[in-house]
A and B are shown apart, each in its own frame.
Chain A
Amino acid sequence: MGGERPGAAMPVLADRAGAAVVASTFRPPPQTPPRKGEGLPRLMLLGEAVVVGALLLSVCGPGTALALEPYEVVGDAIPRPLGGFTGDPAHGEQLVRDRERGNCLICHQGADPREPFQGTIGPPLAGVGARLDAGQIRLKLVDASRLNPETVMPPYFRTEGLRDVSPQYRGKPALSAQEIEDVVAYLASLKTP
């Protein structure tokens, strides 16, 4: 450590011109709303071995990668709900808005025009429930690259074939099976363009 380090002599800029802009342009980090049934998906079909297996894993090994619930692609859709879960559209709407979880509005114009600063990259979400059925929406969320290899839509329920994933996200899907179903339920309800 050289004796000539300016250290504390560096300018403090908090009160300079930029700060006012920052305050008006950038929000504090978003508050992630408490998630219902953290780690404990609502089970609809208790008899299903897959679901029970996933539950056992989540109880036995927090932090270890879970095997994703299997699904079947039929044409351009995944007709059956992931894990047999029933989606909660209200929670789905929260996930769509939430900047940490779904963060859908970073790229899409959502159904609520009052929401500030929405993205312009993907198609608008209003009316998506009239354009696509639930199974088609589900596949687009799970892994849209199965429909279009060049897509910019991220895969929200995939852990394989990804490169340089940040350690905190490695081995985990962006959304859980329950969360995918919540978002599917919400989007399928958006019938009006």
Chain B
Amino acid sequence: MRWRAVLALTVIALAAAPATAEIKSGSEFLSPEMRRQQADETRNPAWFWVEQGEELFSRKPQTGAACISCHAEPKQSLRGAATHYPQVDAASGKLLNLEGRIEQCRIERQKQPGFGYETPEMLAMTAYVASLSRGLPVEVKTDGAAKPYYEAGKAFFERRQGQLNLSCQQCHDGMVGQKLRGDTISYGAGTGYPAYRLEWNDVGSLHRRLRACSLGVRATQFDYGSPEYLALELFLAGRAKGLPVETPGIRR
């Protein structure tokens, strides 16, 4: 029976398919021209930050070692590293995103003053390290030690907040594709960050973007690197599992 063969092949094909996210990247909501600009290193302004980060990575501080003295051949050794963030730090039990890990390395291993969140240096370094995972699927852990953080992020995503009394979920699950004035509501995948955002005319972190969301519903803007946004970042990354890292992205 022909249809049985077709069915069997379909089942095999489905079983063999890699786990893919049910959501789409923010790039899907850009115009074709902006997608082309994002993909073109000579026209995507965020590549300036990546280049700056690459330079910083090799620069030896007056005291202590450069990043590259431990992470030799970063294009190979750090390929894929960013796909696993945020992750729980085994030693401290704390949830760290890529910014947190870079800062930890800088302070504890290189014995240097921290860059600080959202500084040009941190943005450049994060953009560079994340860019080394460009095209690889997001692969964060959401179980085990990460589970409580993931659940906290999920609860944050689902609860109404702010004077406008809206949850992230109401827009970024229920209203995807709808227009908020001239902007199209996306799934809120963070796979392009740090990204060059037209509204900022600048590169910013995912937490800067989340602060803009909070402001939009007139809710408390949590600090860069706050437990609230870290947990939300993990939840968003969990939703985006299987989507490729696009850093440095361009976003509206």
Q: Which A residues are within 8 Å of any B CB, using their own CB?
A: 1-7, 9-11, 13-14, 16-19, 21-22, 25-26, 105-107, 116-121, 145, 152, 154-155, 158, 162-170, 172, 174
Is the beta-carbon distance between A6 and B120 smaller than 8 angstroms? yes
Is the beta-carbon distance between A6 and B43 smaller than 8 angstroms? no
Is the beta-carbon distance between B163 and A163 smaller than 8 angstroms? no
- The proximity string for B residues 31-72 relative to A, scoring 1 for CB distances below 8 Å and 0 otherwise, is 000100100000101001100100110010110000000000
Is the beta-carbon distance between B181 and A18 smaller than 8 angstroms? no
Is the beta-carbon distance between B219 and A164 smaller than 8 angstroms? yes
Q: List chain B residues, Cβ under 8 A from A119.
A: 178-181
- Total CB contacts across the A-B interface at under 8 A: 125
In the complex with contacts A11-B52, A152-B166, A22-B201 CB distance below 8 A: yes
Residue among A1, A14, A105, A107 making CB contact with B201, cutoff 8 Å: A14
Q: Complex formed: what's the CA distance from A13 to B203 in Å?
A: 10
Is the beta-carbon distance between A17 and B43 smaller than 8 angstroms? yes
Give the distance to chain A from B210, nearest Cβ to Cβ, in Å.
13
Is the beta-carbon distance between A19 and B124 smaller than 8 angstroms? no
Starting from the known contacts A18-B201, A152-B170, A154-B163, 12 additional A-B residue pairs (CB-CB under 8 Å) come to: A6-B52, A10-B120, A16-B45, A18-B45, A21-B198, A25-B198, A117-B182, A152-B175, A154-B164, A154-B166, A165-B161, A169-B163
Query: For the complex, is B84 an interface residue (Cβ under 8 Å from A)?
Result: no
Interface majority SS on A: helix, strand, loop or mixed?
A: loop
Residue among A1, A107, A120, A166 making CB contact with B163, cutoff 8 Å: A166
Is the beta-carbon distance between B163 and A2 smaller than 8 angstroms? no
Within 8 A of A (CB), among B187-236: 196, 198-199, 201-202, 214-215, 218-221
Q: List chain A residues, Cβ under 8 A from B215.
A: 166
Is the beta-carbon distance between A13 and B220 smaller than 8 angstroms? no
Residue among B37, B61, B159, B166 making CB contact with A17, cutoff 8 Å: B37
Residue among B201, B202, B220 making CB contact with A164, cutoff 8 Å: B220
Q: List chain A residues, Cβ under 8 A from B218.
A: 165-166, 168-169, 174
Query: For the complex, is B171 an interface residue (Cβ under 8 Å from A)?
Result: yes
Q: List chain A residues, Cβ under 8 A from B45.
A: 11, 13, 16-18
Is the beta-carbon distance between B160 and A163 smaller than 8 angstroms? yes
Query: For the complex, is B174 an interface residue (Cβ under 8 Å from A)?
Result: yes
Q: Complex formed: what's the CA distance from A18 to B198 in Å?
A: 7
Query: For the complex, is B104 an interface residue (Cβ under 8 Å from A)?
Result: no
Give the distance to chain A from B114, nearest Cβ to Cβ, in Å.
9
Is the beta-carbon distance between B49 and A162 smaller than 8 angstroms? no
Give the distance to chain A from B183, nearest Cβ to Cβ, in Å.
8
Q: Complex formed: what's the CA distance from A132 to B37 in Å?
A: 47
Give the distance to chain B from A17, nearest Cβ to Cβ, in Å.
5
Is the beta-carbon distance between A6 and B121 smaller than 8 angstroms? yes
* Among A106, A168, A170, residue most surrounded by chain B Cβ atoms (within 10 Å): A106
Query: For the complex, is B165 an interface residue (Cβ under 8 Å from A)?
Result: yes
A1, closest chain B residue (CB): B113
Is the beta-carbon distance between A166 and B52 smaller than 8 angstroms? no
Query: For the complex, is B132 an interface residue (Cβ under 8 Å from A)?
Result: no
